[in-house]
């Protein structure tokens, strides 16, 4: 969330409020910097457990689990629930 902070947008650390921090974006309209959300139940945003930042070309930057190193990975995961563009 530091990346957005540097751009002048303050985001809460909790994924639940990040999910409502801006308009939801269709996956075919993603732009670099959009937040990608992953949930245990993709029909229920209340189960969001992970967030990544879209970097283009179907890739995101994220830390797969607490304490892990930050890495670039494909966004094509079965638990992708949607995206937002913070404002």
> Is pLDDT at 30 greater than 90 in this prediction?
yes
Retrieve residue 32's tokens. 């670099």
Residue in 57, 9, 50 with CA at minimum distance from that of residue 83: 50
Range of the domain at 49: 2-84
Q: What total number of domains does the chain contain?
A: 1
**DSSP string computed for 1-44:** -HHHHHTT----SSHHHHTTSS-B--GGG--TT-EEEEESSTT-
How far is it, in rounded angstroms, from Cα 24 to Cα 85?
7
CATH number at residue 80: 3.90.1720.10
pLDDT band at 19 (very low <50, low <70, confident <90, very high): very high
pLDDT band at 14 (very low <50, low <70, confident <90, very high): confident
Residue in 4, 86, 87 with CA at minimum distance from that of residue 37: 86
């Amino acid at each position: 969330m530091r990346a957005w902070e540097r751009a002048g947008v303050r985001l809460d650390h909790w994924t639940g409020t990040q999910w409502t921090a801006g308009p939801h974006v269709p996956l075919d309209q993603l732009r670099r910097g959009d937040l990608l959300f992953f949930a245990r139940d993709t029909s229920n945003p209340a189960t969001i457990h992970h967030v990544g930042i879209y970097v283009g070309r179907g890739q995101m930057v994220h830390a797969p689990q607490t304490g892990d190193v930050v890495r670039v990975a494909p966004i094509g995961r079965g638990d992708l629930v949607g995206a937002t563009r913070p404002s």
